[in-house]
């Protein structure tokens, strides 16, 4: 039987990244491992990856077996997750002495990263933050952001056609609490949503280590249960009442909320939003700030337009929301081994 300490040790081992080596040959596998430490919706890690050492390039493609059609029917979260991975790879290549261009191409569509040698150390603070970043789903200490923190987050939260609104103050926070509560009622009343979520919950360390993906009870701060029992009682546990009480407390304990809004609502924009949120959360991590996602008002179609109007961004699309603040670190989530998603190039 695997224990919580096995889970903690495995997650720690997965976060040993190589030292920055700006003059060394490209280490594609190390870049991709750093890429896989990115956030992904439900920790589905919905990627397939190929290396083309001749160009050199890395291709990231969606893994259709890891789609979540109930919460993410148009794959927007899936492509944001791929964008998160691409951004980590760009940063890891940067400290290895390579610039990285990221394009969305083809019918699938794929994300293509191409690399060119260049001078300079790269983004060292963000690189170090890749192994430290985590979603922290506990209550925070409610202290305000400093103006330097606010500016650093807004700057990191900008991309092509994407920007980040930083919300602070009781009035905004209470309005978001109400949106999240309504989102929880819709989502948790939906048996299909609960079934899909339950499929990704790993109710004990053994199951988490076996799958090395999904939402682990160890990470979420929940008691360990046999997998069959967790599944059997999930309908009793996944209820809007307790979830709303927890979310309201957690949102009110945060220093600020960050909403990523984009000019367009389509694949390239979702990938760009993933890149931006990864950069934003790595910057937060480097500032010793924690974060957790609260996407209910964006995921529930009936709420989304109303949420956009409330933000006062009629023409922009809210694509992700996070809370940010100060708290102790939680246990880290697990990742699948490289072999599970890296296609080995044909020989010859
Ligand atoms: C597009 C996207 C949507 C997400 N939505 C949520 C969410 O609604 N609620 C939540 O708690 N976490 C959400 N997450 C966070 C993932 O669950 C988290 O990244 C994953 O479990 C891996 O954990 P880590 O980020 O701590 O490494 C989301 C992440 C991404 C990239």
Instruction: Tell me how far apart the alpha carbons of residues 110 and 339 are, in angstroms, rounded to a whole number.
Output: 19
Contact 278, 288 (CB under 8 A): no
Asked whether residue 106 falls in the same domain as residue 158, the answer is no
**Across 129-156, average pLDDT:** 98
Residue whose CB lies within 8 A of the most ligand 1 atoms, among 40, 83, 85, for a mutation test = 40
Q: Do both 115 and 169 map to the same domain? A: no
If you take atom 9 of ligand 1, which residue's CA is the nearest one? 293
Both 228 and 319 in a single domain? yes
- Residue 55 sits in the same domain as residue 196: no
Residue 222 Cα to ligand 1 midpoint, Å, equals 17
Cβ neighbours around 314 below 10 Å, total:
8
**What pLDDT does 109 receive?**
94
Region 104-117 average pLDDT: 95
Mean pLDDT of 35-51: 98
Asked if 329 and 308 touch (Cβ cutoff 8 Å), the reply is no
Say if 288 falls within a structural domain.
yes
Ligand 1 atom closest to residue 136's alpha carbon, by position in its atom list: 26
**What confidence category does residue 237 fall into, taking pLDDT thresholds of 50, 70 and 90?**
confident
Residue 347 has pLDDT above 90, yes or no: no
Q: Of 133, 155, 188, which one is at a domain's C-terminal end? A: 133
Domains in the chain, number: 2
* HSE of 120, CA atoms in CB hemisphere, 13 A: 11
- Which of the 8 DSSP states describes residue 323? E
Residue 24 is predicted with a pLDDT of 94
- CATH code for the domain in which residue 15 is found: 3.40.109.30
Q: Distances from the Cα of 184 to the Cαs of 22, 194, 245, 275, 296, in angstroms? A: 47, 11, 11, 27, 7
Distance CA 95, CA 31 (A): 10
Q: Whose CA is nearest to atom 21 of ligand 1?
A: 43
From ligand 1's centre to the CA of 292, what distance in Å? 7
Domain boundary, last residue among 109, 133, 157 = 133
Domain shared by 21 and 157, yes or no: no
121 neighbors 86 (Cβ within 8 angstroms): no
Q: Indicate whether 39 and 106 sit together in one domain.
A: yes
Among 14, 38, 42, 193, the mutation site with the greatest number of ligand 1 atoms within 8 A of its Cβ is: 42
Residue 348 pLDDT level (bands cut at 50, 70, 90): very low
Contact at 8 Å (CB) between 14 and 309?
no
Average pLDDT over all residues of the chain: 96
Does residue 121 sit in the same domain as residue 42?
yes
**Residues forming a β-bridge with 137:** none
Compute the distance between CA of residue 290 and CA of residue 141 in angstroms, rounded to an integer.
11
Q: What is the mean pLDDT of residues 19-28?
A: 94
Per-residue pLDDT at 18: 97
Within a domain: 251: yes
Task: Supply the CATH number for residue 152's domain.
Answer: 3.40.109.10
For residue 2, what pLDDT is reported? 77
Considering the domain architecture, whether residues 126 and 210 belong to the same structural domain is answered as: no
In a domain, 339, yes or no: no
Give all strands of the β-sheet with 47-52 in edge-to-edge order.
Answer: 47-52, 57-62, 110-117, 98-105
C-alpha triplet 247, 157, 255: angle, nearest 5°: 35
CA dihedral 283→15→110→165, nearest 10 degrees, is -20
What spacing in Å lies between the alpha carbon of 223 and ligand 1's midpoint?
20
Per-residue pLDDT, averaged over 100-129, amounts to 96
* 334 in any annotated domain: no
Task: Write the pLDDT tens digit of every residue in 282-300.
Answer: 999 999 999 999 999 999 9
The whole-angstrom separation of Cα 126 and Cα 92 is 9
User: Is 245 exposed, middle or buried, given 0-12, 13-18 or 19+ CB atoms closer than 10 A?
Assistant: exposed
| Residue 185 shares a structural domain with residue 264 | yes
Calpha distance 239→226 (Å, rounded): 20
Residue 346 has pLDDT above 60, yes or no: no
Give yes or no: residues 128 and 171 share one domain. no
Rounded Cα–Cα distance for residues 153 and 254 (Å)? 15
Which tokens hold the place of 56? 């050199």
Give the strand pairing for 201-202 and 215-216.
parallel
290-293 and 317-325 as β-strands: parallel, antiparallel, unpaired?
A: antiparallel
Task: Tell me, yes or no, whether 46 lies in a domain.
Answer: yes
The answer to whether residue 341 is domain-embedded is: no
Q: Which residue puts its alpha carbon closest to atom 17 of ligand 1?
A: 42
Hey, which of 15, 279, 295, 303 would you mutate to test ligand 1's pocket, going by the most ligand atoms within 8 Å of its Cβ?
295
Instruction: Decide if 173 contacts 251 (C-beta within 8 A).
Output: yes
- End residue of a domain, out of 80, 100, 133: 133
Whole-model pTM? 0.97
Position of tokens 């083809």?
106
pLDDT beyond 70 at 30: yes
Domain assignment present for 61: yes
Flag whether 45 is in a domain. yes
180-193: b (≥16 Cβ within 10 Å) or e: bbbbbbbbbeeeeb
pLDDT at 313 over 80: no
For residue 345, the model assigns a pLDDT of 61
φ/ψ of 142, rounded to 5, equals 65, 10
Q: What range defines the domain where residue 94 resides? A: 4-133
307: enclosing H helix or E strand:
helix 301-311
Q: Work out the average pLDDT over 123-148.
A: 98
Do residues 111 and 229 share a domain?
A: no
Mark whether 210 and 244 lie in a shared domain.
Answer: yes
């Amino acid at each position: 039987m695997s224990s919580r300490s096995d889970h903690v040790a495995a997650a720690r081992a997965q976060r040993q990244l190589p030292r920055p080596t700006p003059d060394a040959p490209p280490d594609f596998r190390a870049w991709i491992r750093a890429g896989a430490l990115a956030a992904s919706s439900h920790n589905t890690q919905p990627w397939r990856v190929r290396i083309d050492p001749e160009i050199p390039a890395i291709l990231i493609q969606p893994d259709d077996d890891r789609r979540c059609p109930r919460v993410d029917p148009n794959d927007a979260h899936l492509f944001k997750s791929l964008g998160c991975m691409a951004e980590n790879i760009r940063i890891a290549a940067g400290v290895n002495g390579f610039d990285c261009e990221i394009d969305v191409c083809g019918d699938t569509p794929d994300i293509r990263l191409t690399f060119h040698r260049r001078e300079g150390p790269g983004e060292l603070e963000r690189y170090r933050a890749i192994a430290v970043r985590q979603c922290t789903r506990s209550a925070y200490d409610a202290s305000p952001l400093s103006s330097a923190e606010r500016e650093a987050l807004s700057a990191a939260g900008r991309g092509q056609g994407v920007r980040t609104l930083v919300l602070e103050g009781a009035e905004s926070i209470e309005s978001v609490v109400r949106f999240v509560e309504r989102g929880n009622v819709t989502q948790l009343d939906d048996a299909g949503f609960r079934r899909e979520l339950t499929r990704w919950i790993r109710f004990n360390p053994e199951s988490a280590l076996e799958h090395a993906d999904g939402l682990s009870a160890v990470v979420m701060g929940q008691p360990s249960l046999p997998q069959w029992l967790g599944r059997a009682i999930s309908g009793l546990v996944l209820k809007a009442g307790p979830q709303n009480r927890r979310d309201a407390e957690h949102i009110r304990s945060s220093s600020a909320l960050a909403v990523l809004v984009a000019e367009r609502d389509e694949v390239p924009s979702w990938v760009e939003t993933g890149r931006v949120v990864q950069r934003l959360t790595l910057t937060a991590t480097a500032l010793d700030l924690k974060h957790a996602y609260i996407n209910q008002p964006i995921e529930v179609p009936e709420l989304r337009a109303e949420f956009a109007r409330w933000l006062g961004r009629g023409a922009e699309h809210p694509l992700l929301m996070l809370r940010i603040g100060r708290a102790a670190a939680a246990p880290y989530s697990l990742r699948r081994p490289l072999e599970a998603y890296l296609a080995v190039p044909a020989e010859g």
